[in-house]
Structure 1
């Protein structure tokens, strides 16, 4: 989470120069939500840079979403901690997915049967193709 990447100490006289408390850190993360890449961990940004180097610029669908949960569960999504990216590369989805399966082993690759984007994240390695999104 951003609070771990940017210290938010609230001890008297020991304030972070930019983020003075957890409420400000939360507002900062919320401001960086959506499709911004500034909220991503360095590992997620490095992955995005590798994808862009291979396929050109990509259309970001979603990055950081504070409090995001995996659909149908109470588990936090990797989007909540800046470790996941949902994106599109129009006309190249199959090519991108094949490349990710062959080259991304430090996290997951997922596609959804009812959505057109690709999900990648940092964490345990998995591949899940054409899964239902769990959204109604």
Structure 2
């Protein structure tokens, strides 16, 4: 995808609530912000301690958000507001079928050096139970 590219610092916070318990992960990495027309893309690599890296490609369009991860895990998750989508999450220990229902997507593209993506959704793993998720990705222009 050609367009304008900028180096950015990315902070990704994932919150998962299940059975009254909250699990929170925070990932901070350098990446690239690419934009053309009404499409924005964030590209970065998650560096994991003692494990294979995970390459992440997040494509943001007005009607959907697509998150593709490859490396130690392999998945392609699509979010569409008020819709149900499905994908398979593959990792070293097997595969998990995921049903996702997206409640909310808000996106502020990069302006004045900052941008933000927020997605609120529920998942069912292998058809069992509901897990509430909140994904917040903030990014800001990196000083080069």
With normalisation by structure 1, the TM-score equals: 0.28
With normalisation by structure 2, the TM-score equals: 0.27
Quick check: which has more Rg, 1 or 2? 1
Query: Relative contact order, CA 8 A, sep 6+: which one is greater?
Result: 2
Instruction: Answer 1 or 2: which has greater strand percent.
Output: 2
